[in-house]
Amino acid sequence: EKIAASPGDFVKDLLLKPLRKSVPLLEGGLKPLVETPAFGCYHPLLKEQNLPYPETIDEYKRWAALNNLPTAEADPTKPVVAVLLYRKHVITEQPYLAELIRGLEQSGVVPIPCFINGVEAHTIVRDKLTSSHEQFNRNNLGIVDVDSLKPDACKVDAIVSTVGFPLVGGPAGSMEAGRQSEIANKILKAKNVPYFVAAPLLIQDIASWWESGVGGLQSTILYALPELDGAIDAVSLGGLCGDDIFLVKERVFALSNRIKKWHALKQKENKDKKIAMTLYGFPPGVGATGTAALLNVPKSIDETLATLRKEGYDLGVKEGEPLPTGEAIILALRNLEEVSAIMLGAQKGGEQALSKTRRDIAKIKREEEKESESDESSPNGNVLSLPDNTLQPAGMDVSPSTLRKWLSFPADWGPNEWGPCPQLPPNDILIRRMEKAWGNLEQYRGLNTNASGFNVAGFQLGNVFIGVQPALGVEGDPMRLLFERDLTPHPQYAAYYKYLQYKFQADAVLHFGMHGTVEWLPGSPLGNTGLSWSEQLLGAMPNVYVYAANNPSESIVAKRRGYGVIVSHNVPPYGRAGLYKQTAELRELLNEYRESQQLQKFGDRKLRGIVANQAAMAQLDNDVPCYSMETNELLSVNANDAENVWSDETFENWANALNEYLFVLENRLFSEGLHVLGRQPDAEQSERYLDAYFGEEMTKLEKRIVASTTFEHAAEISRAQTEDDKEEVDTPELAAIKKQLDKQFDIPASYSEKLSEAITIKSLLQRNDEELDVGLVSALNGDWVQPAAGGDLLRDGPGVLPTGRNIHALDPYRMPSNAAFIRGNHVANEIIARHRHENDGQYPETVSVNLWGLDAIKTKGESVAIVLALLGARSVKEKTGRVARYELIPLEELGRPRIDVLCNMSGIFRDAFANVVGLLDDCFSRCAEAEDEPIEMNFVRKHALEMQAKGLDATSSRLFSNPPGDYGSMVNERVGNSSWNDTQELGDTWASRNAYSYGKSSDEKGVARPEVLNELLRSTERVVQEIDSVEYGLTDIQEYYANTGAIVAAANAAKEDAADATEKDSNGAKSKPAFKKVQCSVVETFGKDAKGSVKDLDETLRLEYRTKLLNPRWAKAMAESGSGGAFEISQRMTALIGWGATTGFTEDWVYDGANETYVEDEEMRKLLQKNNPEAFRNVVKRMLEAHGRGMWNADADTIENLKKMYSDAEDRIEGVL
């Protein structure tokens, strides 16, 4: 074997000399010592020529030119790519190296293969590689970002690391990745070329990758850690076959194609680039077209088109000519969805849609003029504008034969391209799978098809295509996915993306907002293969993805499965709910009562009755119950008793509690309206951000002055926040703010210590324009996009700003963090204490905890900490800070029983935190096997033994989710379609979708264990759900009721089934045993501490409905946000049905208030009808549905009025009105 050694190493040579003579079996003794330099360039031809590895890139390039290998000089159009290789793989002659380099060359890339030890990768990139950008800055602008750059540094167009890990430190620096990323960012920013990580799996075999995706530590090496450095488009190139590493050549071609497309973005002039802007429209029929969570899509389109025009993109209009507005574009796209337009085909249907759009705009303007000719203050005025000769019909009707061609692999592909894959796929395998799911393509007459084929329709503005991502095609049949785990996208969905690739020939696709569906399509859960649908439909198109900065969880799915380069955007300004209507009147009455106490100790008795009556009318008696101070008896809240029966002390105590609750309502935060991409907040909005963040830590005057100040050097101010040194002297900005404060008549006695931080936050908010001017523009230029941690300003602080960054998640091997463990322990103790208080001191035997990727990332593992605390376990960390295992706390130390925990994992948590899943499973296993612990002190062991007695296997399984590569409970689809009969049916839907067990063993990766899940549901007494941000409450999105509510439904159904079974076994007993329904605790984690963060489900729902859906301030802000705001209101009405369907939350006052706010209020009704008639129809539809299902006791006149409103809405949508 070769032995790496220094040529002049006398000691080694002396020791090896006798060894050479003592090995008679080796003819000639050992081979001569061969030095492999610490850095060098590799090529398989060097070995064939028996040449040493060149130790400089210049030397390699000269050799390559002499041997007629691809070079930049020979073909300047080809991208030059530095490929970082493991030196040890070069030494051990791993077979994949030759395949990789030759595959890159074969597919049109000029590789510069550099081998390194791994730890010094950043120094090689820093000193030996350069770029056109860096050279321009140095030579023309005098900007020297890297002073150690070598004079002979090689100019490259991209960097590919096959090492993985963080750039700085490599394997040795993996546990320091967060701290080292700043160094890497500085280096990569200087180069400003795409940085790819593409590597074979070094600790996972190819078969397991194809079967269940990249997992465990391998996923951290290839994805989580490189993402901290802004790495994009990670490609798994191959993996282990026995002890050797082999490539799948098809994956090398996929990497090459991605490199070439990013290179084209860098080389093309903007006027020649074609951009495919993809909007969303799911679910259909409820006004969702052109909407995205937290984002005002129409106005963001306006800002984006203005930016593209400024940057020189061809929008099909001359300089100075007006563009269509975003609202007009979206209205046209909605008209394009009509059946008649689909039947006419892409061209004629587009013409019809444009004609109808112009008629709709003219009609709306006539109505506005008729209603109020003098009202020029309307925030929605002039938002609909469609100048002639701007939008043009685009798309095509894709024939079945064309789609077959587009979805087929080359006919001559075989073992050479697919390599050691578990199966050799036929070239039409994707078509075969599609036809198995949807039938023969020629005979398919499903979604968006016409006589010519699959209708792909949109509009073009010059070189910008604007279309709507097709619906997935399962909404009309929500049960289908329960039985067809490998369901494919329907033909028209595939045709849409293939059209963008092959016919429109997009240079980049721009997914507009959070979030689409292409990254969630069937395929490998992590580490796309050539058969993954997201891989095939996106192809090599660079995917620029606009995403909310506070959602690093779902964005990593877009990044990892959808190759998304994230451009983050800010969340909308925060607002405080305030008090309104009955609650505002109640506050006035309480103040009046307090004033009466100045005349008599316990106040005016008449006022007591009025206060109690008002509280009852406001439906506050559930949230602020009254208990007798003498007997602790729950009292009825009514005017007579409060005035004549309650003792003075009882009323005083209740009035104090009522006042406290009103204070909570008044100061409750919510997102006010929707964010506009690239738009800076004005002074009023900035003040709301500061007020939400600082609260009472700053005076109103201080917040107002800072918010109203525009800082000229915002970037420099906000950058200074990262510096460790604290200056004693005020910065110029701080001094200026203090001077303004001094001029006010109410001069602060002392300045807030938070002033500097407030200035930093305001300067960061000013940089919202970087969402477009830096983030989007850089991505479309093919530049490296600055990475940043995704998160929440209120919880994570100003480090999550500015936006316009390529956001990433956290290092999964540090979960939970120390702070998260402390908070999680506090929350678990509070949950246990609440349960015991409500259940005669009994401990819960089983608690179901939802483990979601979003809250786990943002809270750094607080939900995991809750699981550990309930179980009676804690983290054991290595010196590096990495969590090595979870150990059980001795019962003597714990002082209570171990609570059993059913962990329901979201698909994102399951895929992103496989290491945590393994550690938790190991902990549960040891807990179940703790024979020295009595079962009354270890409920995990108790339940495991009970299941074993019933003949079940894997009785310590506690981590359940969807099947591998699958996501979602489908409960929200059923509620959205009204395709459900009762609560148990929805609970069964959830259980059937989440009966798959995961654990540390490679054999426990999505094993169906419905019996074990059912036993755990039967013993579940409480469900725990975290809420991680102000923006996404229980009532704001469908996923909460579809999971949390559905688990409650599933557990109650399991208990009822058990009671039925007991009844059957009870020898003819007439009544089945009663069971206690499952309780639910909601943990709000967005506060700065854990105190008071645990609430009951119904309490939280009432709090949210009072402060958002029924709050005139929230409603007005949403309604004035155009079509997207109307859709947000509509979705919350659907969610209201969802909570009633799953948990029985059916309180009349919520529906009464919604009807009063959105239907009976004429101004609001007309605004919603104009902005989004389909959304308004859904609002009315949900009210009628609630009444029809017995959720709302509305009077006959109300129902008749709603039926008329629904009929009018239908006519308006059909064009009759």
Q: 845: pLDDT confidence band, cut at 50, 70 and 90?
A: very high
Q: 895: pLDDT confidence band, cut at 50, 70 and 90?
A: very high
> Given this model, what pLDDT does residue 244 score?
85
Cα distance between residue 779 and residue 262, in whole Å:
9
Alpha helix ranges (H) inside 268-318: 297-310
Alpha helix ranges (H) inside 372-440: 400-406, 415-418, 429-438
Tell the residue number behind the tokens 């937290």, with chain if given.
Answer: 294
Residue-wise pLDDT for 306-316, tens only, equals 999 999 999 99
Nearest to 431 by CA among 452, 447, 412, 407: 407
> Given this model, what pLDDT does residue 865 score?
97
CB 574 within 8 A of CB 672: yes
Both tokens assigned to 821: 């463990």
CB 64 within 8 A of CB 105: no
CB 255 within 8 A of CB 237: yes
Q: 373: pLDDT confidence band, cut at 50, 70 and 90?
A: low
> Given this model, what pLDDT does residue 912 score?
87
- % of the chain surpassing 90 pLDDT: 72
Predicted TM-score (pTM) of the model is: 0.91
Q: What's 29-77 look like in SS3? A: CCCCCCCCCCCEECCHHHHHCCCCCCCCHHHHHHHHHHCCCCCCCCCCC
968: left (phi over 0), alpha (psi -120 to 50) or beta: left
Nearest to 813 by CA among 915, 703, 707: 915
Q: Other CB atoms closer than 10 Å to residue 785's CB: what's the count?
A: 27
Both tokens assigned to 533: 């649908």
Cα distance between residue 626 and residue 172, in whole Å:
61
More confident position, 486 or 444? 444
Q: 965: pLDDT confidence band, cut at 50, 70 and 90?
A: confident
Alpha helix ranges (H) inside 129-204: 132-136, 177-191
Cis peptide before 802 (omega within 30 of 0): yes
Give CA 601 to chain center in angstroms.
55
Amino acid at 264: A
CB 630 within 8 A of CB 647: yes
Identify the H or E element spanning 1022: strand 1020-1027
Nearest to 223 by CA among 535, 562, 531: 562
Residue-wise pLDDT for 710-721, tens only, equals 887 777 766 655
CB 1000 within 8 A of CB 918: yes
Tell the residue number behind the tokens 């959808």, with chain if given.
Answer: 562
> Given this model, what pLDDT does residue 811 score?
76
Residue 663: pLDDT over 60: yes
Burial grade of 24 (CB within 10 A; 0-12, 13-18, 19 or more): exposed
Identify the H or E element spanning 1095: strand 1094-1096
Cα distance between residue 695 and residue 690, in whole Å:
8
> Given this model, what pLDDT does residue 478 score?
40
Residue 730: pLDDT over 90: no
Residue-wise pLDDT for 215-237, tens only, equals 878 888 899 989 999 999 999 99
Tell the residue number behind the tokens 């390529």, with chain if given.
Answer: 806
Identify the H or E element spanning 1137: helix 1122-1143
> Given this model, what pLDDT does residue 964 score?
85
Q: What is the overall mean pLDDT for the chain?
A: 90
Tell the residue number behind the tokens 């337009």, with chain if given.
Answer: 341
> Given this model, what pLDDT does residue 851 score?
96
Query: Which backbone phi and psi does 1013 adopt, to 5 degrees?
Result: -60, -45
Strand order in the sheet with 996-998: 1005-1008, 996-998, 959-961, 900-905, 846-851, 1020-1027, 1079-1084, 1094-1096
Residue-wise pLDDT for 1133-1170, tens only, equals 999 999 999 999 999 999 999 999 999 999 999 999 99
Contacts of 710 (CB under 8 A, 6+ apart): 766
> Given this model, what pLDDT does residue 3 score?
40
CB 421 within 8 A of CB 208: no
Residue 1070: pLDDT over 80: no
* pLDDT, mean of residues 454-464: 98
Both tokens assigned to 989: 């839907």
Nearest to 1031 by CA among 1070, 1084, 1072, 1081: 1084
- % of the chain surpassing 70 pLDDT: 91
* pLDDT, mean of residues 656-685: 94
